[in-house]
Structure 1
């Protein structure tokens, strides 16, 4: 079993074996690739001159930087010997059929597992610009690869990927629609706000809290009871001593903004069962969450400032622990708004 979100030796061995399996194929061969989110970590194969330790250092720095998943994967593609279309190129001249589980906003195939079998129009210069934008410190060997252009990926029009076919079999939008059907089956109207909501998790929490309060208190733009559903991949710029985790940071920020509203509940989690670098999927938020925290001497705003959403919800017993879900269609957020009491 390989590690996620920071790669390990088991993943490296698996990536080496994958490349070995497709060596020497003919035009009569068919390669079936089953790819899901998380592959950026689970299938690490550094370019010659780089090591697994380099990849681990880069991944840790990216995860703490606040970069979007698309930006992170741009950097990863240009340091990999198997991503950015390189796996498909290694299969040439065989036909390649890729079936994708999307975990990225927008469902762009080149961002799912950093695109092992699809063309990549981005460049080393793009990756370097991202590194500089977020002030990410890279090992000298890694920086040399990007500055020298040695990490260029497989570009559109390359004949080695002409026989690649790509199909989406599960996406964040599909998950949200399935959740909406469950809610509606229980007699609760469901509204999908979007499947590609990004930004700092705490900012997303504030915005969705504003929408939820408008629904609860003003009946706009829709009336309660209802559930507001959303997906996407927020980010956390870790500056405190906590463990991060975009879903728990979102939920804690949401709870602070809601300030114990008596008719609003919420759930947020990562659909693979791991939020950030912790084997906890996410957490639950109830109207009494803040009151219970204060009763334990926990200050919600201090926990948020310290990026300690996991510690906050663990102390309350409100963490959601699923174990490995064996799928990954990005983050899932549900805000349940109860109807006002009738007079």
Structure 2
């Protein structure tokens, strides 16, 4: 199988492994004596809701919010669409309605909360004294700052009226079962959609320190909320969370293992380097190029042919005015560092189908990528400096467009070092 076709098949397998129809049904709790209410937020939440409906043997109702374009038909659970990655009024209204739905529940009732990546933006209910515009401005600044996802979510939790365990506390005394698809390094539930149903050990002081670290301009109302401690989240040990549990139904590691199985079935050894790799996308690309060169030249730490797999969530500090995308920035940096090295191919895509703010999952890299770019007078180093990975790969026709995948287990990266890359003895 040609390298590009194999890499694309592996990406498809990674996405398929995280589809709710495969990973959700076995995690459903038994029906309660009382009501069943389904709530949730994230790019996978609508598809998760549909699977719950298909497998639930008793009455239920509910409301989930997903990204524009990710809605699927449901009969008993209402699906609302809102904006990502910067929240909008639709997300605010959905969050307000979800919080209202869980009021007045009893001990015999069950709440099933469907959480996946993207929920931080989609479940947007500003904290005391904050306006939506305040949260939008802070979100934009955080996205451009280079802050890690855990840092961004720490700030979001402390400026929210629903995240950081607040939604779980509102469900008390009903039983709460959260079914989560992880899109974060380490699979910590507090960082998936900023943890609306998870106890939060971080503090307002932590959030302030992050904003100061990245020199982000903080609106006065937000600063007052954090400095006063009024933005504090629900902490571990809170009795309102005693009847709450979280079940991780899909993770980046599961997706990488599915992709590795496809490679091995094609006769190519696959090695998972990590499912939670973070850092600047261009730096990770440069390091990965060094590892690939070592494999090609010395057969260390693995012999070629082989495929190096990794996941996680890198960051991009915006310096230019290009179209961005952390996966394509990684891939372009990898290509620049490899400089046309023979026999090395790669793919880097976001498993939700959206890399950055583009409706493009990512792209593919080949040994002749830079040569073709120069022939089109497309300068790879200039495009990298301008954060324009999408513009670069789209000019070459090498973008990967999957459309909405209805799931999200973060970034998928695969580097294929073929036997041709190994010099003769």
Please say whether Structure 1 and Structure 2 have the same fold, judged by a TM-score greater than 0.5.
Answer: yes
Which interval holds the TM-score relative to the shorter structure?
over 0.9
* Counterpart in the other structure of 1:107: 187
Displacement of 1:167 in angstroms is 0.7
Which of 217, 221, 229 is the matching residue for 1:141?
221
Using the alignment, how far apart are the partners of 2:137 and 2:115 within structure 1? Answer: 24
* Counterpart in the other structure of 1:81: 161
Spell out structure 1 runs of 4+ moving beyond 4 A. Answer: none
* Counterpart in the other structure of 1:244: 324
Using the alignment, how far apart are the partners of 1:206 and 1:61 within structure 2? Answer: 26
Q: Given the alignment of the two structures, is residue 301 of structure 1 paired with residue 381 of structure 2, yes or no?
A: yes
Using the alignment, how far apart are the partners of 2:157 and 2:299 within structure 1? Answer: 46
Which of 383, 393, 404 is the matching residue for 1:324?
404
Displacement of 1:342 in angstroms is 8.9
Task: Tell me the SS of whatever aligns to 2:321.
Answer: coil
Q: How does 1:63-82 map to 2 (within 5 A)?
A: 63-82=143-162
Q: Is the 8 A contact 2:297 2:423 kept in 1?
A: no
Displacement of 1:323 in angstroms is 1.1
* Counterpart in the other structure of 1:276: 356
Using the alignment, how far apart are the partners of 1:290 and 1:311 within structure 2? Answer: 14
Which of 70, 93, 109 is the matching residue for 1:13?
93
* Counterpart in the other structure of 1:172: 252
Q: How does 1:224-263 map to 2 (within 5 A)?
A: 224-263=304-343
Which of 263, 267, 283 is the matching residue for 1:203?
283
Post-superposition CA distance 1:280-307 (Å, at most 9, x none): 1111111111111111111111111111
Task: Tell me the SS of whatever aligns to 2:415.
Answer: strand
Q: Given the alignment of the two structures, is residue 153 of structure 1 paired with residue 233 of structure 2, yes or no?
A: yes
Which of 162, 165, 171 is the matching residue for 1:91?
171
Displacement of 1:2 in angstroms is 1.2
* Counterpart in the other structure of 1:310: 390
Q: Is the 8 A contact 2:308 2:416 kept in 1?
A: yes
| TM-score after normalising by structure 2 | 0.79
* Counterpart in the other structure of 1:44: 124
Displacement of 1:92 in angstroms is 0.7
Cα RMSD, aligned residues only: 1.1
Task: Tell me the SS of whatever aligns to 2:419.
Answer: coil
Q: Given the alignment of the two structures, is residue 292 of structure 1 paired with residue 376 of structure 2, yes or no?
A: no
Using the alignment, how far apart are the partners of 1:148 and 1:126 within structure 2? Answer: 13
Displacement of 1:218 in angstroms is 1.3
Using the alignment, how far apart are the partners of 1:90 and 1:12 within structure 2? Answer: 17
| TM-score after normalising by structure 1 | 0.98
Task: Tell me the SS of whatever aligns to 1:7.
Answer: coil
Task: Tell me the SS of whatever aligns to 2:185.
Answer: coil
Using the alignment, how far apart are the partners of 2:227 and 2:361 within structure 1? Answer: 37
Using the alignment, how far apart are the partners of 1:190 and 1:136 within structure 2? Answer: 41
Structure 2 spans left out of the alignment, 5+ residues: 1-80
Q: How does 1:111-122 map to 2 (within 5 A)?
A: 111-122=191-202
Displacement of 1:119 in angstroms is 0.2
Using the alignment, how far apart are the partners of 2:92 and 2:406 within structure 1? Answer: 20
Displacement of 1:259 in angstroms is 0.5
Using the alignment, how far apart are the partners of 1:85 and 1:98 within structure 2? Answer: 12
Which of 324, 344, 351 is the matching residue for 1:264?
344
Post-superposition CA distance 1:320-342 (Å, at most 9, x none): 11111110001000001110379
Using the alignment, how far apart are the partners of 2:210 and 2:107 within structure 1? Answer: 38
Task: Tell me the SS of whatever aligns to 2:271.
Answer: strand
Using the alignment, how far apart are the partners of 2:228 and 2:322 within structure 1? Answer: 36
Task: Tell me the SS of whatever aligns to 2:310.
Answer: strand
* Counterpart in the other structure of 1:213: 293
Q: Given the alignment of the two structures, is residue 128 of structure 1 paired with residue 202 of structure 2, yes or no?
A: no
Q: 1:342 to 1:275 in 2, by over 3 A?
A: closer
Structure 1 spans left out of the alignment, 5+ residues: none
